[in-house]
Structure 1
Amino acid sequence: MRTFEKSSKLDNVCYDIRGPVMDEANRMIAAGEKIVKLNIGNPAPFGFRAPDAVIKSMSENLTNTEGYSDSKGLISARKAIAAYCRSKNMPDVSVDDIYTGNGVSELITLCMQGLLNSGDEVLVPSPDYPLWTASITLSGGVAVHYICDEQNEWYPDIEDMKNKITDKTKAIVVINPNNPTGALYPKEILLQIVELARQHGLILFADEIYDRLVMDGLEHIALASLAPDLLTVSFNGLSKSHLLAGYRCGWMCLCGDKSRAKGYIEGINLLSSMRLCSNVPAQSLIPTALENLEDAKKMLLPGGRIYEQREYIYNAITDIPGLSVVKPKAAFYMFPYVDIEKFHIVDDEKFVLDFLKEKKILFTHGGGFHWAKPDHFRIVYLPCVDELSIAAESLKDFLQDYQQCE
């Protein structure tokens, strides 16, 4: 009898945010156990709600959005996005340079499929958001991971980037603000990355979906604003800042000098047309959403929910013997270090799985973000402080006696 296996193209692809540990959590839930999920950036289960004006805007447009839109998206949505780009000093972005998507994930995959031939290389941060590595791999490319330095606020290691550029390198991916570390890159780091791209004739891919979730009075700098002479593809959306993850409302913008990328843009247009268009009702709320940016800011100020949850979990983690963490400046993630010698940890996936089984709390192991050593894990701090307190106390209790068996 003939059997069917998964494609060999998936051999080096992982998405452990929803991977084997999540599968175990789902089995426990099906058995009637209550699991606290600190593994995924999904605001809705933790009581976050989208702004009323945004929901009202979409509901009022439902009867007008029953058909397909232009493959790039509604002109009203793209005009609003173009205005937002101008506010971020992103150069040379017209409505024709903007593509709406069913979340940013779809657009990342589209961009990689349109660019990469077999063996082409793309520099990707480590730790990364794993979809980038997966999309590059499935498109026939090779993800080459450059190190982000925990001792330097998780900023990209520019020397490591330099050493990993070859004649096969086509692009550099920059995730800023960063997932999973919560780092926010300063202008001097971004300028050095731009200069590398300039010297080697590379495309810049800027994953900036957390650009409106920045704390401590800091400001996000759009990568494209520093590179008017290069092609920068910037990705953004409403899933996080407007708490609309389920609506799958994202976009990408082609910024800067597009003169040497006409063939690539033709490929993007073809792939965009093949998927017909993104969710049209979700597109219809983009203009209203981009006129309502203040709600997100309130959550990030002292006294605001995200800010206070960050403060609590940062202090709680640093108080646990054997753990340390760089304080995140943006988004709602942190990437703690765990002393693997103290706890004899050789497998970080087993570490989070053991914690899940004993304490019924779900983290994601660092290896799921292409971090090479088994000494990190990611916490999503969307739950309220009471739930975070339970998680922190549970982790402290768990680690007191934990010694991983090989």
Structure 2
Amino acid sequence: MLIINPSNPCGSVYSHDHLAQIAETAGELGILIIADEVYDHLAFGDKPFIPMGVFGKTAPVITLGAISKRWLVPGWRLGWIATCDPNGILKETKVDQSIQNYINITSDPATFIQGAVPQIIANTKEEYFNKILDLLRTSADLCYGKIKGIRGITCPHKPEGSMFVMAKLDLSCLDGFSDDIDFCCKLAKEESVIVLPGSALGMKDWLRITFAIDLVSLEDGLERLNSFCERHAKV
């Protein structure tokens, strides 16, 4: 079972009770949990981030993490795999050995990144992370508020983490679009605004919007999106 928390692309953060129910279900089914927690320190809403590993006694957990998001270095493709398996299920089934074997055949990150990581993890001050969370919280509020005023687009869930939000595209309110891909292509051509069509994520007629940019650019992009929808609105 794969869990992405905080979520890309929805911006949701799961509660302790919800994660506990997921772990109980996995335990009953006799399956392991793969927890993608790349955005673990980018939860800025009311719900605190709860690592899936705390439920390791209920079901074995393999946690995926990376340096790219919390430290804002997306080009540094360096991550890690951690297991939480107090009952020894992964060891007994040799899943842990399979993980080690796979790591041994993959290419390593650049040496300068490997050399920098210990210093980055040990010496980055807490003020840096707090500033990032404040910026993301402000930009998420701006994004959510602006989307509510755009015709043909609704945002059912205010983002509480990560850097993205999903918005529902109602093409019945708009004219001249066949689907979300067509909408995004014409938006890019007419307004130079890039959003990801939901079809790329298996969510037809949805849009994935990132708010991890400076507030001026974000507001300008959302204003262009609004102008685009007004121009193509059905009379």
> Normalising to structure 1: TM-score of the pair?
0.53
The residue number in structure 1 matching 2:230 is 400
8 A Cα contact 2:14 2:47, kept in partner: no
1:134-283 matches, cutoff 5 A: 172-216=1-45, 218-256=47-85, 257-261=87-91, 262-275=93-106, 277-283=108-114
Bigger Cα displacement from structure 2, 205-214 vs 384-393: 384-393
Q: CA offset at residue 310 of structure 1?
A: 1.7
8 A Cα contact 1:248 1:279, kept in partner: no
The residue number in structure 2 matching 1:296 is 129
8 A Cα contact 1:210 1:331, kept in partner: yes
Partners in 2 of 1:258 and 1:280 — Cα distance? 34
Q: CA offset at residue 363 of structure 1?
A: 0.6
> Normalising to structure 2: TM-score of the pair?
0.88
The residue number in structure 1 matching 2:208 is 378
Q: CA offset at residue 281 of structure 1?
A: 3.2
The residue number in structure 2 matching 1:353 is 185
Inter-CA distance 316–403: structure 2 relative to 1 (3 Å threshold): closer
User: Aligned residues, how many?
Assistant: 228
Partners in 2 of 1:242 and 1:285 — Cα distance? 12
The residue number in structure 2 matching 1:131 is none
Q: Which runs of 5+ in 1 are unaligned?
A: 1-171
Match among 322, 327, 334 for residue 165 of structure 2: 334
Q: Which runs of 5+ in 2 are unaligned?
A: none
8 A Cα contact 1:182 1:334, kept in partner: yes
8 A Cα contact 2:63 2:83, kept in partner: yes
The residue number in structure 2 matching 1:306 is 136
Partners in 2 of 1:187 and 1:360 — Cα distance? 41
Partners in 2 of 1:251 and 1:281 — Cα distance? 17
Partners in 1 of 2:76 and 2:138 — Cα distance? 27
> Which AA in structure 2 matches 1:300?
L
Partners in 2 of 1:336 and 1:314 — Cα distance? 9
The residue number in structure 2 matching 1:285 is 116
Partners in 2 of 1:276 and 1:400 — Cα distance? 49
8 A Cα contact 2:46 2:160, kept in partner: no
RMSD: 2.0
Partners in 2 of 1:260 and 1:249 — Cα distance? 24
Q: CA offset at residue 336 of structure 1?
A: 1.1
Inter-CA distance 349–379: structure 2 relative to 1 (3 Å threshold): same
Inter-CA distance 277–396: structure 2 relative to 1 (3 Å threshold): closer
Residue-by-residue CA offset, 1:116-140 (whole Å, 9 max, x unaligned): xxxxxxxxxxxxxxxxxxxxxxxxx
8 A Cα contact 1:212 1:297, kept in partner: no
Partners in 1 of 2:45 and 2:98 — Cα distance? 41
Q: CA offset at residue 403 of structure 1?
A: 6.3
8 A Cα contact 1:234 1:253, kept in partner: yes
Residue-by-residue CA offset, 1:347-375 (whole Å, 9 max, x unaligned): 2111100111111111100111111x32x
Q: CA offset at residue 283 of structure 1?
A: 2.9
Partners in 1 of 2:170 and 2:11 — Cα distance? 21
8 A Cα contact 1:336 1:377, kept in partner: yes
